[in-house]
Amino acid sequence: MTLLLAPMEGLLDFVLRDILTRVGGIDGCVSEFIRITDQLLPERVFTRIVPELHTGGRTLAGVPVRAQLLGADPVCLAENAALLAGLGPAGIDLNFGCPAKVVNRHGGGAALLDEPETIAAIVSAVRRAVPAHIPVSAKMRLGYSDDLRAVECALAIAGGGADELVVHARTKAQAYRPPAYWERIADIRAVVSIPVVANGEIWTVQDARRCREMSGCDRLMLGRGAVADPGLALAIKADMADAAAEAVSAGIGWPALLHFLADFWHVVCTWLDARSRVGRLKQWLNFLRRSFPEAETAYQQLKTVNDPILVEAWLAGVLPEHKDTQARHPDR
């Protein structure tokens, strides 16, 4: 069982990648997309979105990170992929699934699922531009308005030379509404020869079990489920190994998670703009409410808080051994 961590624009960035890979169970990550239009981007754009490029293309826990590109121009994407490859990512991923209107309006993301010939051209151009030792993967949805061309798009990606394909089992029109149609991933697996990763609506160990059965995939990608339950990957692996998933989950119950929240706050205060720090903590707590009753209490306590000093006071109250972030970051 291989478990990947999904990219989520505005949420699952390098900060949360750092913390979630410290928890364990994650075998690889994909960054948020780097948008490619009509120019060669400077290196600082790639390293800003994927700072793991400074640490060998891995998180501090040692988990490899692929950098994701989004665009519609095969030539420009290939040129940027070649530059990016020189910075040492663990791989390069291509986005054919983003449902955002602003992206689709410019022909990127899921909009390309109506143009399998363009998808093939993009994958082929990027694969030729990137050294053979760097994997090139792609992520797609089942389609734009419907899933009638899902297999055709998957064949275009595989035929273009991709090494792996992630399939989010919904169309753009279905957005993030349940359910995910994992059985359609099995249809794709039947016609492509490259590894296929199943993605979408995996919130629990039971979801992972059902997804694996319906899709036939032994590679899964976790997104919101891992944000809401940071121990999900560990529990899934324990379940797949017929071990006691409950025992593993207990190891990252609320008391242990508080330490990861403190680490998260540390990283946030180190790297993010002061105005966004408290908001990022509340954003994660909002997701954690789904899995931890204690997170509901914490969220309500911090809901109206905007002062980092008050967050420090809260952390000191729930985690006495927490050291003052101000002392560690006097420039805050």
Q: Whose structure tokens read 């099995």?
A: 186
Amino acid at 184: R
Give CA–CA dist 119/196, Å, rounded: 17
- The whole-angstrom separation of Cα 85 and Cα 67 is 9
DSSP state of 123: H
How far is Cα 215 from Cα 167, in angstroms, rounded to an integer?
10
The Cα 85–Cα 147 span in angstroms is 33
CB 308 within 8 A of CB 266: no
Give strand ranges (E) for 145-229: 164-168, 196-199, 219-222
Segments of the chain assigned E as strands? 2-5, 28-35, 65-70, 91-96, 136-141, 164-168, 196-199, 219-222
Catalytic residues: 98
Measured distance CA(119)–CA(142) in Å, rounded: 14
Torsion angle, alpha carbons of 20, 22, 25, 31, to 10: 50
Q: Is 330 exposed, middle or buried (0-12, 13-18, 19+ CB in 10 A)?
A: exposed
